[in-house]
A and B are shown apart, each in its own frame.
Chain A
Amino acid sequence: MSADATKDLDLENGPTDEELVAETVKGSLASYDELIRRFQSRLYGVIYHLTSNHEDTNDMLMEVFDKAYRSLPTFRGQSSFYTWIYRIAINRTFNFLEKRKRRQGAMSLNEIDEDGLPKYDMPDPIQRNNPSKSSMLNELQNKLNESMLGLSKEHRTVVTLYDIQGLAHAEIAKIMGSTEGTVRSRLHYAHKQLQKSLGIYLRR
């Protein structure tokens, strides 16, 4: 890493994403590390909610950051870095889903270990000492994943970005390269589908 490239970078006052991109292009690996820290959790969420598989998500996330790093010299700043890297993540995940579909013939749900618990260190939203609640939550999680995987990848993406990640319609439209109207219409359709498949878990 070039020491000069990072010397003047004031990480405490929070450089913008674009400043970090510029420093990375000049050779500062520390700046790219900072970009990774900023986006890793959000991108993990996007990829995971599209694949429903933690192992695949981990692999994909590495690929996305690697691809983005290699492509940074061609990043012209026409969109924000945030939009750009989200697009890379979504496009690569879409490609991955296509390949997985061809390879497996059917999609796999999230790996559950022998105890019926997720493989990774997931936060435990309910007490382990309440096995019936835990079992219900696992069932609900499986059903949610199953319903999400029942949607097309485009519909799953808008649900992920809007309902789970809390992005605005306009931001989603930029990321997906579509109009706000298309985002709203996909969201409405996806909600209707999910409402149908998750009906028994919803209060009337």
Chain B
Amino acid sequence: MNQKEDFSELQKLLQLKRLETPGQEYFERFVDAFHQYQRQEILREEPWYSKLMEVLFEPWVAGVPRLATVAASAACLVAGIAFFLGPVAPGSAALADGKVAHAKGIIVASNPTEDSLQIQPELIETAAGGEVTQLRPLYVNGHGAVAYDSRLAF
């Protein structure tokens, strides 16, 4: 073996790294610290929906889309498109009795003072320029509602 292939000096130098270790006290306390860690981990167990989000979106963050993620995202997209392009159901949809605004068919109503929303068709008529409209509710929560009217989508 020539001189360049002799790594014995290098190996001695690398053995110095064995000294880079915490003191014995650290290891004596480690088991107790580990028990404490386990208790904390149990307390902060992530809820199932958080894990689901992680599975779905972490691969995108990493820039490596998984097949399952791609498939799930495509299914959501198709379902969303089908929902928007589908026929408008008859009957007036519910919206809030507070402020109403719309743009390109998306109607937003909000009423921060009421917990339960009472839908008043006249408010929708106002938003739609006086016409009676047929609406598809998209999202309703305690203080607001979002609906879609394809006739206003211009």
Contact = CB atoms under 8 A, between A and B. Distances in A.
Interface string A177-204: 0000000000000010011001001111
A44 interface: yes
A44 B14 contact: no
A62 B29 CA distance: 12
A135 interface: no
Contacts of B37: 62, 66
B9 A140 contact: no
Interface of A: 33, 36-37, 40-41, 44-45, 48-49, 54, 61-62, 65-66, 69, 102, 110, 118, 120-123, 125, 140-141, 144, 148, 159, 163-164, 191, 194-195, 198, 201-204
Interface string B30-61: 11011001100100000000000000000000
Give the interface centre of B7, B9, B19, B20 by most chain A CB atoms within 10 Å.
B20
Contacts of B68: none
14 contacts: A40-B31, A41-B21, A41-B27, A44-B21, A61-B30, A122-B21, A140-B13, A144-B16, A164-B15, A191-B7, A194-B10, A195-B4, A202-B13, A203-B9
A54 B18 CA distance: 14
Given A66-B38, A203-B9, A144 B27 contact: no
Nearest to A126: B19
B19 A36 contact: no
A144 B14 contact: yes
A191 B10 contact: yes
Contacts of A159: 14
Contact of B21 (A48, A102, A202): A48
A125 B14 contact: no
Nearest to A204: B3
Contact of A122 (B3, B23, B30): B23
Interface residues of B, number: 28
Nearest to A124: B19
B62 interface: yes
Contact of A123 (B14, B19, B27): B19
Contact of A121 (B15, B22, B41, B62): B22
Give the interface centre of B3, B34, B41 by most chain A CB atoms within 10 Å.
B34
Contacts of B31: 33, 36-37, 40
A64 to B, nearest CB: 10
Nearest to A49: B17
Contacts of B16: 125, 140-141, 144
A194 B3 CA distance: 15
A202 B34 contact: no
Nearest to B63: A102
B27 A198 contact: no
Contacts of B38: 66, 69
B34 A123 contact: no
B85 to A, nearest CB: 38
Contact of A36 (B3, B10, B30, B62): B30
A31 to B, nearest CB: 12
